Structure 1
Amino acid sequence: MKNFKYVIGWAMLLMASVTSCKKDFLTLSPTDRATGNSIVSDTTLFEAFVTNRYLGAILQEKEGSYSPPGFGRGFEYAMWSSVSDESIYTNNDGSWVLQQGQLSADNTGMAGTLWARSYRSIRECNYALSVIDGLPLNTAHKNRLVGEIRFIRAFRYHDIIRNYGGAVLIADRVTDLNSNLQDPALFKRASLAESINYVATELDDAASRLPLNNSATWALGRATKGAALALKSRLLLYAASPLYSAATWTAAAAAAKAVIDLGKYNIDQGGYSKLFLNPNSSEIIFERLYFSSTAIHLPIERANGPNGYDAWGGNTPLQNLVDAYPMANGKAITDPGSGYDPQNPYVNRDPRFYATILHNKSPYRGSTVDVYLPGGKDSNQGPSNWNTSSTGYYLRKFMNDSYPIVNPAGVAGAQPWIYFRYAEILLNYAEAQNEAIGPDQSVYDAINAVRSRSSVAMPALLGLSQATMREAIKNERQIELAFEEHRYYDVRRWKIAPQTENVPAYGISATVSGANPSGYSYVRKVALTGRTFKDAQYWLPIPLTEIQASNGQLKQNAGY
């Protein structure tokens, strides 16, 4: 199941249609064997080279050509949620070293490829920028390609910044493997402020060149003006946060407002769960596309579904996350007036809970999820019990029930991976504006727009102080953006990781009991011991191999 090899520059193919409507999608063509001479003399090959930079290094499974969801992610079945307080990965998969505070420069677990993958992509973008002027392209199209390349390069730098802190800003000096890699300047790390200012400037340039809309000549999946501005919004929100303190909250609010003012995006009213299956959602700002017949990602349903359905029970949600979902009346479960019953805990919760997490007796594929003991088919007394959730929960978000769990190759794995969606931008704005001046009407408008989508319809927030609004926004991000690679970074930038990560990974035990209204007795349990957070873990360690390759010139993060 898990023998992998790296494949560089793997290509996604053009899809001409989805369902009955003709659509234009990002075309990725194989460029792993193209020579430099052919790329700079053939505009079609050059453009294919550029669009392939969205992918980076991909893992290929021996029995199929799956690729992981995410921006060329270097990790596999374990999701980034499983190095936070959202989930744990049942069979480790390189995640426990981060969960248990055992990170070191030579033991980076599933985070080990982030540095090298990002800088390889930056070098490839530099190469494209160094040769584009010599290509016979019309001025307008060349301008868009430059914007696209700068966006991709900025995205890679943003990944370096949010994981490691100050970046090595190699600018345009390294374009290929023959560049002067002995230049000491190539190993000097910039400050956080310098790194963020550089990337923000790059994104301004990219936004000025990129089109507002995807079209027949700029395929769905390629970066647009909104994508560049959305990345700047996230970057400046992080920069203003306590861990960074490298920008102002006013600047972060303005960056989010720039996306809002495009007037292009809105909250999808077609259903919270359906949003993650629909590449044409009006809420999506930037996404990576997959297609079941040509270019698929890992079968999420098989990797994460319950063991009683012959799935692998991979990224299993924690009770830590479950407890964050309020009741449908908007009150936290700790509020005495909320109506929460710990022996009937899944009744009348925020609707996003049911769209994100499978719990005991959740409806699923014509049956129910049965984690109870004795005898529950999705418990450790069911089939494939080595894949049983240790938390008592399974992942629901992203799952497409029309895809098979058994033998999914060539059929499953076509859900888009969403990098930026409008809900994030509204929450970015609400947080930054609240920190800048307090909860004015625009803050309420932004957060309540997220809460009021038709499939959620949570009560509007009213009459909060700046401090209580701050906590409300943190909670809203935790549940609205769950499993979308935000929580790991949010708790660090807010500097609350010592509180969220230095607690056990909790789960739930369900046993049959006629004495309770639910028919079951629920007891909180520890699902994984040893969750530990140390101050050094605000940043990842740069891999030891990278430090050694620089002959010690590259400065390691403190504490490693």
Structure 2
Amino acid sequence: MKSTIFLALAIGLATTFTSCKEDFLDVTPTDRLSDDAIVGDSVLFEAFVINRYLGARQIDKEGDGAPPGFGRGWEYALWGSLTDESIYRSDDNTWLIQRGQLSPENTGIAGALWGRSYRSIREVNYALAHIEEVQMSQAHKNLLTAELRFIRAFRYHDLIRNYGRVVLLGDRVAELGDDFSDPAIFKRSSIQEGLEYAVSELNLAAEVLPMNHSSNWGKGRATKGAALALKSRLLLYAASPLYKENGTTVTWQQSAEAAKAVMDLNQYSISSDYASMFIDEEGNNSEIIFARYYNLNSRHTALEIANGPNGYDAWGGNTPLQNLVDAYEMANGRAINDPASGYNTQAPYTNRDPRFYATILYNGAQYRGRAVETFRPGGRDSQDGPSSWNTSQTGYYLRKFMDDENPIQNPWNVAGRQPWIYFRYAEILLNYAEAQNEATGPDASVYAAVNQVRQRAGVNMPPLPQGLSQEQMRKRIQNERQVELAFEEHRFYDVRRWLIAEETENVPAYGVAVTKQGQNFIYDRKIALEGRRFEKKHYWLPVPRAEIQASANKLEQNPGY
């Protein structure tokens, strides 16, 4: 559904408000619904609210088949390819971020977040401003209002975690012809103020939102659990070192309590199957708290052809790095650099954490009826195989999220229906474990939370060893987040909020070169992408230059840019 309000964006797209509108162009579009039509029809108004879970395409290769939602989600280049998780085979404006070349004039795939978020906030404010005019029960108005508050808070969360200080619009609905000369309109709040606003919105939403929606219209819509999960994430960020360095006052205890509030709902549990959770199109998994769902009429990027090995006639898109591979423990729970782990550099994929096998395709992995062959000479999934231009530079391919029921060749109108999970219970448990460990040290509840994640059926990793210090537990939780939540848009923000990005993001982007000698394989580390670099200013994204220019330079840029 389209609406005339799409013509007026938020502060992030202030150029819209400065354009001229000639009389001979002042016509009523036949493919759009007027404001009166939306407000005058309760069904159309609710459809408008539901569509606020989606956003507008802002840059190239966004929304392939369906409009983008929150974050980045299912696009060709995943957000993980801006981190030490992977690199994107065809670049697509990701390498400049990996190489520390990000600038206000060249934001790569990170350039859409500011404009899309503020556009959505303006649309939410429009709906809130008019909801009392709609003919429907007060109870239903209250429910839709709660959803709108959740959506608005989610957009501010996206802004805060990427830019830090944001412009708080309140309930303002910017209109064409408004006076934008007042610098206060573009004033960026403190991070603490932004967090307080978003959390207050979530508190109000959580009071009204149901535990579950009773109809198909409710699939993928906000619930009480979703609101509390977003609050948990925000308060975890707020208590973290990067945010503390920028003046936040949230304590680790408050963060732990926010995660515990989700746990105490008793609505969610750890899934018995790690791999299948990410391809559950129906959303019946007990671990999923909030997700975006797709169907044949609204599909995302066909993941299998976009990311599969070239030997299967796929495109080798987001290729995992050795940096991530090395983070997976051995099946005995020991890190690979532990002399007692049993790790063998010439059999590096034997006896690893089962989540490794569910996440990464490696030389010798069984996939669709044969072993993956990244070795040279002669490997079908190496440069010696077909479509050599699609060969992984890292020696690995992505396994997570791939549905073997989908075809790799000619997937159009069939593939692209996996859900994008915004929140799942494992994140909440790890949020709680991290915050509680920082607040009180590694008590029994910290161990219990982490071990629930490690010991799910099908993973069954050993429990964490007793007697860990707070620092040792901190490192174990950080590693657990790295492997458990890989490619789910956490790593980018985790290494920044922990203030370790200057370490992790300045390590080369490593891959592996596999050489076949007779019946044996030789594994040698290699650099997969040259020039990886991170500077202190990169803890926050730059505000795109076009947004600052559109504000007549009233909008303040982030430091260092």
Q: TM-score, normalised by structure 2?
A: 0.91
Query: Whole-Å Cα distance in 1 between the matches of residues 74 and 286 of structure 2?
Result: 29
Task: Report the Cα offset of residue 466 of structure 1.
Answer: 0.7
Matched AA of 1:538: Y
Q: Report what 2:543 is aligned to.
A: 542
Is contact 2:124-2:148 (8 Å) kept?
A: yes
Matched with 1:499 is 503
Q: Determine the structure 2 residue equivalent to 1:553.
A: 554
Contact residue 59 and residue 66 of structure 1 kept, 8 A: no
Partner of 2:209: 210
Partner in structure 1 of residue 289 of structure 2: 285
Shift of residue 89, structure 1, vs aligned partner: 0.3
1:159 alignment partner, SS class: helix
Provide the C-alpha distance between the structure 1 equivalents of 2:345 and 2:168, rounded to a whole number of angstroms.
52
Pair 59,305 (structure 1): closer, same or farther in 2 beyond 3 Å: farther
Q: Is the counterpart of residue 181 in structure 1 residue 180 in structure 2?
A: yes
Q: Deviations over 1:215-258 (max 9, x none)?
A: 12751210000000000000000000000011110111011011
Instruction: Give the match for residue 18 of structure 1.
Output: none
> 2:361 aligned to 345, 358, 362, which one?
358
Query: Which of the two has greater helix per residue?
Result: 2
State the SS of the aligned residue for 1:160: helix
Deviation at 1:508, TM superposition (A): 0.3
SS of 2:528's equivalent in the other structure is strand
AA in 1 matched with 2:532: R
Distance in 2 of aligned mates of 1:314 and 1:514: 30
Residue pairs, 1:369-408, within 5 angstroms? 369-408=372-411
The code of the aligned residue for 1:401 comes to D
SS in 2 for 1:511: strand
Inter-partner Cα distance in structure 2 for 1:229 and 1:534: 33
Contact in 2 for aligned 1:58/1:72 (Cα 8 Å): no
Conserved 8 A contact 2:71-2:113:
no
1:200-279 paired onto structure 2 within 5 Å: 200-216=199-215, 219-245=218-244, 246=248, 247-269=250-272, 271-278=273-280, 279=283
* Residues 308, 314 of structure 2: 8 Å contact kept: yes
Q: Whole-Å Cα distance in 2 between the matches of residues 98 and 429 of structure 1?
A: 31
Distance 1:230 1:35, change over 3 A: same
Aligned with 1:443 (options 442, 446, 462): 446
CA contact (8 A) 1:506 1:528 kept: yes
1:217–1:525 distance in 2 versus 1, CA, 3 Å: closer
Pick from 491, 494, 519: which aligns with 1:490?
Answer: 494
Q: In 1, Cα distance between the equivalents of 2:203 and 2:41? A: 29
1:470 to 464, 467, 474: 474
User: Counterpart of 1:42?
Assistant: 41
Structure 1 residues 358 and 68: CA distance shift in structure 2, 3 A: farther
After superposition, the Cα gap between the structure-2 partners of 1:75 and 1:537, relative to the gap in structure 1 and judged at 3 Å, is: farther
Structure 1: give runs of 5+ residues left out of the alignment: 1-7, 10-30
Q: Distance in 1 between matches of 2:150 and 2:31?
A: 21
Q: What amino acid is aligned across from residue 80 of structure 1 in structure 2?
A: W
Tell me how far 1:68 sits from its aligned partner.
6.9
Q: Distance in 1 between matches of 2:176 and 2:481?
A: 41
User: Could you list the per-position Cα deviations for residues 137-189 of structure 1 after superposition, in whole angstroms to 9, with x for gaps in the alignment?
Assistant: 11111111000000000000000000000110011123444544333222000
Residues 278-322 of structure 1 show CA distances to partners (whole Å, capped at 9, x for unaligned) of 12111000000011x211100011110000001000000000000
Shift of 1:72: 6.7
Q: How far is the alpha carbon of 1:407 from its aligned partner?
A: 1.1
Residue 79 of structure 2 corresponds to: 80
Give distance in 2, aligned partners of 1:72 and 1:57: 12
Looking at structure 1, the residues matched to 77 and 506 of structure 2 have their Cα atoms a distance apart, in angstroms, of: 21
| Counterparts of residues 30-109 of structure 1 (less than 5 Å) | 33-58=32-57, 66-67=65-66, 71=70, 73=72, 76-109=75-108
Aligned to 2:152: 153
- Secondary structure at the counterpart of residue 53 of structure 2: coil
Tell me what 1:529 maps to: 530
SS at match of 1:238: helix
In the alignment, is residue 301 of structure 1 matched against residue 290 of structure 2? no
SS at match of 1:558: coil
**8 Å Cα contact 1:59/1:67 also seen in 2:** no
- Amino acid of the residue matched to residue 485 of structure 1? E
Alpha-carbon distance in 2 for matches of 1:436, 1:72: 29
CA deviation after TM superposition for structure 1 residue 71, in Å: 2.2
Letter in 2 for 1:277: I
Structure 1 distance, partners of 2:36, 2:552, is 33
Partner Cα distance (2:180, 2:243) in 1: 29
| Equivalent pair of 1:59/1:74 in contact (CA under 8 Å) | no
Paired residues, number: 526
- Measured in 2, the distance between the counterparts of 1:83 and 1:448 equals 29
Once the 2 structures are TM-superposed, how far is the Cα of residue 335 of structure 1 from its aligned partner? 0.1
Provide the C-alpha distance between the structure 2 equivalents of 1:450 and 1:54, rounded to a whole number of angstroms.
Answer: 29
Q: In structure 2, what is the Cα distance between the partners aligned to 1:175 and 1:373?
A: 59
SS class of match (1:327): coil
Q: 2:459 aligns with which of 452, 456, 466?
A: 456
Post-superposition Cα deviations, 1:498-521, rounded to whole Å, max 9, x if no partner, equal 110111100001111348xxx211
Contact 2:64 2:75 in 1 (8 A): no
**How big is the alpha-carbon RMSD for the aligned residues of Structure 1 and Structure 2?**
1.8
Distance, in Å, in 2 between the alignment partners of 1:44 and 1:68 is 21
Residue-by-residue CA offset, 1:191-228 (whole Å, 9 max, x unaligned)? 01111111111110111111111212751210000000
Identity %: 64
Please give the TM-score of this superposition, normalised by the length of structure 1. Answer: 0.91
User: In 2, distance between residues paired with 1:353 and 1:210?
Assistant: 37
Q: Which runs of 5+ in 2 are unaligned?
A: 7-29
CA contact (8 A) 1:57 1:74 kept: no
- Give, in angstroms, the shift of residue 58 of structure 1: 3.6
Contact 1:59 1:68 in 2 (8 A): no
Paired position in structure 2 for 1:480: 484
Asked if structure 1 preserves the Cα contact closer than 8 Å seen for 2:55 and 2:69, the reply is no
Q: Secondary structure at the match of 1:166?
A: coil
Indicate which of 404, 411, 416 corresponds to 2:414: 411
CA contact (8 A) 1:59 1:76 kept: no
Contact 1:237 1:428 in 2 (8 A): yes
Structure 2 CA distance, aligned partners of 1:176 and 1:239? 33
Alpha carbons of structure 1 residues 304 and 358: separation in structure 2 relative to 1, 3 Å = same
Q: Secondary structure at the match of 2:242?
A: coil
- Residue by residue, what CA displacement relative to the aligned partner does 1:352-393 show, whole Å, maximum 9, x if unpaired? 000000000110011111000000000011100000000000
